[in-house]
A and B are shown apart, each in its own frame.
Chain A
């Protein structure tokens, strides 16, 4: 049985379709990433999967439990942490942990053991009496994660957990997520950081409420299997793009920082030479013209473009 199973899940807010017939499965112990821009429907989906929001249509089961029929059962099985790391700021580290343990119904030896676990995991052994408001972002985030998994849920939902946290803390946080996954916990995480998405075993790219692509990073990159990506470093990238767009073999171009990525319709060997020739002919100075491996960003842009074209 899959940890999460979603079939034709939709949610409308008035006339606006926030989530449109999503279908996917998440395997046990997997780190499953939800990638999409703001407003793509990631948070709405998570809220439905947690039993916080009723779907307009479709079904979703968590550990085999239907989110509509038994939201309480779902809540017992899941942990949830959002980008806002919702802790009680006036309360200390220990008091926050005790409160969440309390509403999850933990008592006795299990309570003590889980409390120790959460404090150790967040690295807060020496700051148990510190008020949550006085903790730095990374610590608060780890404490929030600790509080969210006190009851040892088999599935954890993380809604943009690393927003507003420094890169060091983000890396530490992802180590914790890896640890959770190693211990058999299923993690569904939303992000719009593409570098974070690389940590996920599998990714779902969500665009305008729809599932645009699904697979592991390398599977997703297969969309470029019979195409090529050429990176052009030019002193005038905008001019370079104009020239490249005129070449029949170039499907599209996009700006990647100061470089231009051109997607070629075929993966022919001489592609790079053709581009180089055309740029020289148009007297656009290019420092380098190289074939590159597709990045997740290439995949994301391509997937979104193609969905837009279909719509």
Chain B
């Protein structure tokens, strides 16, 4: 154990000496989060809205301000039948609300009135989302009048009331940020450890160390400790940035989060060490590490693509991706405030993965030791 500490102390000194690595480990992850967090955003905001108000009553203006106040639409132009087409073609408006004459009167008498919403459909995804926004806004607008009418003695109309839990505005960042945290933490932890042993092999220090009466397990433990501490600090940094900038909530306990994060990072470090035990040069180690951490975490963890909708064979592969379990736990803790008992299976899976990776790395290194 004392020898493992000597290795850890040396490794930490080396990292601290190597400013570039240290900065990369500590700050690049948070920077990544900023980049991805703002770019990887499935929400659509600032849709340029054209308004064709043929009614010009207090009620019609209320509908328009409901659109503008929603935050999703910016009032861009007042249009009429003639100009709509041209503006839409030039992308100067992304959606147009057409309020027919007589809307105000109809609303007050409780008669159904159609409001036309024209949406630029050149991006189907965007169009669907914008349509959803428009529907929600119009529904809540009409509800106001239905309530008023209901008070007048008529039986209240049965209205559908959709409600989305945890992310009422269906903000995709809340869904994506935990994935980003897992993704970034995985890549930095795996890459940095993978490089560290390969570097010793390249420089020949590995051979010198192998000549000492130091067993492979002490070496692995000593190598892991500093990277574990640094990855943990770095991952907590990402989480704090996510909370400050992307309004990531913290509904669960910090200790549960730390536990899940530690298990996840231990597995990532194990994978990194395993990779560096099988690669002879830093370059090979780097490429293997990227391949092993980047693709599975992005594609097969449920970060972006839902696991449930994958073909069975691919779904089976996801069981070997630690980020899969970590994401369930992380989303559970920060978004749902769930306790440890609800995702102990995931934590156990992370622990098994970590033990497996660190064990394999030790065995691999021990074999090379001889």
Contacts and interface: CB of A to CB of B under 8 A. Distances in A.
Interface of A: 50-54, 71-72, 75-76, 78-82, 84, 86-91, 95, 98-105, 107, 131, 147-148
Given A102-B2, A105-B3, A89 B212 contact: no
Closest 10 CB pairs of A and B: A102-B6, A86-B208, A84-B204, A80-B211, A86-B204, A99-B10, A90-B17, A75-B213, A103-B212, A86-B205
Contacts of A72: 213, 215
A54 B203 CA distance: 23
Interface string B1-14: 01101110110011
A79 B211 CA distance: 8
B109 interface: no
The winner among A71, A80, A86 for most chain B CB atoms within 10 A is: A86
Contacts of A105: 2-3, 213
Interface string B246-271: 00000000000000000000000000
Contacts of B13: 91, 95
B80 interface: no
Contacts of A100: 208, 212
Residue among B9, B14, B18, B212 facing the most chain A CB atoms (10 A cut-off): B212
Given A95-B10, A102-B10, A105-B3, A75 B17 contact: no
Contacts of B6: 98-99, 101-103
Given A99-B10, A103-B6, 12 more contacts: A51-B370, A52-B210, A52-B369, A82-B208, A86-B205, A100-B208, A102-B7, A102-B10, A103-B209, A105-B2, A105-B213, A131-B17
8 contacts: A50-B211, A76-B213, A82-B208, A84-B203, A103-B6, A103-B7, A103-B212, A104-B212
Nearest to A47: B207
Contacts of B215: 72
Contacts of A95: 10, 13
Interface in B166-203: 203
B203 A86 contact: yes
Nearest to B215: A72
A54 B213 CA distance: 16
Given A87-B205, A99-B6, A105-B3, A75 B211 contact: yes
B213 A107 contact: no
B62 to A, nearest CB: 68
Given A84-B204, A90-B18, A52 B10 contact: no
B17 A91 contact: yes
Contact of B370 (A52, A86, A88): A52
B211 A52 contact: yes
B214 interface: yes
B7 to A, nearest CB: 7
B17 A103 contact: no
B370 A54 contact: yes
